[in-house]
Amino acid sequence: MYSPEIIDTIWRKIDEKLCRTAVRSADKLPYTAVDGVHDNKAETDITWWTNGFWPALMWLMYLGTGRGVYRAVAEKAELLLDGAFLKYDGLHHDVGFMWHISSGVNYRLFGGEKSRLRTLYAADILAARFNPMGRFIRSWNDDRVGWVIIDSMMNIPLLYWAEKEHGDPRYGYVARLHADTVLRSHIRDDGSVSHIVSLSPSDGSYIESFGGQGYGVGSSWSRGQAWAIYGFALSYIHTGDERYLAAARRVADYFISCVEKTGYVARADFRAPAEPDIIDSTASAIAACGLLELGEEKYRRAAIETVLALEKYCDFSPETDALLTMGAEAYHGRRGLPVIYGDFFYAEAIYKLRGGKFLFW
Ligand code: GLY
């Protein structure tokens, strides 16, 4: 049963845990945890796409509590992340995940020039990946020149920000043209979403789709559905274009019809066989954040059901590092593990339900 007090209690438990984790992991960029201890991508893979989520989580906790420790750890992580700029070959389209929610948040809160430059540099890297004939931002660096992944919708808010910051509409044009292409090529008539679509690099026409991190071709990878809900909601917020809101709502209706059957905890793929029953807590957490931006009571209710259902997958112990258990990297990948974006989006959903107004994206 929902009440604001329950949400406050969850937030308090998150804070009691993370203020201890923050100290233990102050020199890390965590991705997952092994035996309760965060790993460290700063040592093993500085360009890893999730490396912005740890500072983002620290900024979220700073905003929600005012505790200086969170700000200090977020700023430390931002410096660690600078190592990624020195590895040109390793950078990719996920620079929004890496800098918009780390240095980008620092700049929007405190206005530091170095944080601004880091974030603008990331925006230039993303904008430079745009294919003007295909009208899309390429997702991969290798010979997959026309492949576009639904996750990209979460990176383009970096461009909406750069458009305003520079006063240069080119960044916004790139973001909107990309969003229009994804709207046309990835969202199916029933509101489900392809994870990866191959488009012609010369004219953007549809070639084929791939199962990606889902079960297979034509399936419905739940985290991809969640990226679409939140990603299109964000494009609507930044542009006011009602088509993006309609798309986000269409995918949300499909998502809700799937998770209603499983107590609001998403299976890793909504079109996979009944067995094995693989869940992905991170898909639910991301979807909850998107649902809260869709402006209708039914979506807010679904978001609340989701965060309450996920509570039983949270590890609130201050002795262990990760928060949300039972993530799945991919349907055919590692399962049953915590991943840093699961922690971030779960905390972000609670932050929003408590009335937090700062939009990270
Ligand atoms: N492709 C990024 C993800 O795992 O969501």
| Omega before 169 within 30 of 0, i.e. cis | no
pLDDT at 327 exceeding the cut of 90: yes
Given the residues 8, 35, 39, 151, the one annotated as active site: 151
Residue 251 is predicted with a pLDDT of 98
Q: Could you tell me if 184 and 232 are in contact, meaning their C-beta atoms sit under 8 angstroms apart?
A: no
Q: To the nearest whole number, what is the mean pLDDT of the chain?
A: 97
> Is the pLDDT score of 95 beyond 80?
yes
Write down the pLDDT at residue 87.
87
- Residue 48 confidence (pLDDT) above 90: yes
Q: What is the pLDDT of residue 88?
A: 75
Atom of ligand 1 nearest to the CA of 223: 5
Counting ligand 1 atoms within 8 A of each CB, the residue from 53, 97, 213, 230 with the most, and so the one to mutate, is 213
Query: What was the pLDDT predicted at 161?
Result: 98
Instruction: Find the 150 Cα to ligand 1 centroid distance in Å.
Output: 9
- Ligand 1 environment, Cβ below 6 A: 151, 213, 223
CA nearest to 197, candidates 152, 153, 147, 154: 147
Taking the domain 12-353, which CATH number applies? 1.50.10.10
Model confidence over 246-277: pLDDT tens digits? 999 999 999 999 999 999 999 999 999 999 99
DSSP 269: B
Rounded mean pLDDT of 297-321? Answer: 98
Q: Does the structure show a pLDDT above 80 at 224?
A: yes
Is residue 94 annotated as a catalytic residue, yes or no?
Answer: yes
Q: Based on the residue annotation, tell me whether 190 is a catalytic residue of this protein.
A: no
175 C-alpha to ligand 1 centroid (Å):
20
User: Which atom of ligand 1 lies at the shortest distance from residue 149's CA?
Assistant: 1
- pLDDT for res 3: 86
pLDDT digits (tens, 9 = 90+) for 195-215: 999 999 999 999 999 999 999
Per-residue pLDDT at 204: 98
- For ligand 1, the distance from its centroid to the CA atom of residue 357, given in whole angstroms, is 26
Q: What is the pLDDT of residue 2?
A: 78
β pairing state of 147-149 and 196-199: antiparallel
pLDDT tens digits, 9-27: 999 999 999 999 999 999 9
**Ligand 1 center–CA 183 separation, angstroms:** 19
pLDDT at 319: 98
pTM check: above 0.85: yes
DSSP 147: E
Please report, rounded to a whole number, the percentage of residues in the chain having pLDDT higher than 90. Answer: 98
Eight-class DSSP state of 115: H
Mean pLDDT of 305-329: 98
pLDDT score, position 32: 98
CA distance from start to end of the chain: 30
Q: Whose CA is nearest to atom 1 of ligand 1?
A: 151
Report how far residue 169's alpha carbon sits from residue 155's, in angstroms, rounded to the nearest whole number. Answer: 17
Q: Which ligand 1 atom is the nearest neighbour of the CA of 49?
A: 2
Q: Which residue has the tokens 């990209």?
A: 152
How much is the pLDDT for 287?
Answer: 98
Q: Are the beta carbons of 270 and 209 closer than 8 angstroms?
A: no
Closest CA to 248 of 258, 263, 235, 260: 235
Q: How confident is the model at residue 64 (pLDDT cuts 50, 70, 90)?
A: very high
Nearest alpha carbon, ligand 1 atom 2: 151
Determine the pLDDT at residue 160: 98
What are the structure tokens assigned to 16, written together? 């009691």
- Break the chain into its structural domains and give their ranges: 12-353
Mean pLDDT, range 58-83, rounded to an integer: 98
Token pair 């790993």 is at which residue?
39
Out of 94, 280, 321, 343, which one is annotated catalytic? 94
On the question of pLDDT at 1 being above 80, the answer is no
What pLDDT band is residue 138 in, cutting at 50, 70 and 90? Answer: very high
Backbone angles phi, psi at 284, to 5 degrees: -65, -40
User: How far does residue 256's CA lie from ligand 1's centre (Å)?
Assistant: 20
Q: In whole angstroms, what is the distance from residue 93 CA to residue 306 CA?
A: 29
| C-alpha distances in Å from residue 326, one per residue of 245, 265, 340 | 30, 10, 12
Closest CA to 189 of 210, 218, 232: 218
